[in-house]
Chain A
Amino acid sequence: NAGVTQTPKFQVLKTGQSMTLQCAQDMNHEYMSWYRQDPGMGLRLIHYSVGAGITDQGEVPNGYNVSRSTTEDFPLRLLSAAPSQTSVYFCASSTRLGSSYNEQFFGPGTRLTVL
């Protein structure tokens, strides 16, 4: 199993550009989520999905869109990049069964810089 994969690993954007961060998992997990991590601020939830066709907002959803057309894929779209979106982005997945719901599997991250 590859686990959770993310592409690209690094990205530099100019203000106003749009792009899609890709996330895929091969563990048949129902739950997938996106976090951003800024220095000294821990992980903040952007969007999440509890299954194909279902998405919902997290703590910091503004400026981001998501979709979940398949169980495996959960792309994150930046609509019009801003310098405040410079961050490290992590995708995570898990089953929703019992206590295993608390064991999130994280991808390697995408380091995004917006100039």
Chain B
Amino acid sequence: GQSLEQPSEVTAVEGAIVQINCTYQTSGFYGLSWYQQHDGGAPTFLSYNALDGLEETGRFSSFLSRSDSYGYLLLQELQMKDSASYFCAVRDTGNTDKLIFGTGTRLQVFP
């Protein structure tokens, strides 16, 4: 099976940079995804890393190191609207039709 570990909470101030880590334990690997969820809302897809390295999408970047079983989401120029929960997710290697989510990191951005 797979397990994903994320910090439960991260705090930062507007304009800062924050990194949300995700470590995973899995016998195989099919890439790492990130989702954002605002309070009371639905998760929305942010990014997907199939290969090692950094993927940049505007203020958000996602990094993957398969050799270290580790990835992170980097949020730059933080804004109040970035306050949300962030989830990493991987495919179940026993059944790649199953997407397994981490327990999520709650990011609070302060003025």
**How extensive is the interface on chain B, given as a class?**
20 to 34
Does the CB pair A106–B43 fall under 8 Å?
Answer: yes
Closest to A56 in B: B97
Would you call A102 and B33 a contact (CB within 8 A)?
yes
Complex alpha-carbon distance, A87 and B89, angstroms: 20
Given contacts A42-B104, A56-B97, 10 further A-B contacts (CB under 8 A): A33-B99, A42-B102, A58-B98, A59-B98, A90-B43, A99-B48, A102-B33, A102-B48, A102-B89, A109-B42
Interface size class of A (residues with CB under 8 A): 20 to 34
Query: Is the pair B101, A50 in contact by a Cβ cutoff of 8 Å?
Result: no
Spell out A's residues near B (CB within 8 Å).
31, 33, 35, 40-45, 48, 50, 56, 58-59, 90, 92, 99, 102-109
| Most chain B CB neighbours (cut-off 10 Å) among A41, A44, A59, A102 | A102
If the complex has contacts A45-B98, A48-B97, are A103 and B45 also in contact, measured as CB distance less than 8 A? Answer: yes
Task: Check B42–A48 contact: CB distance below 8 A.
Answer: no
Bound CA span A58–B100, Å: 10
Q: CB distance A90 to B48 under 8 Å?
A: no
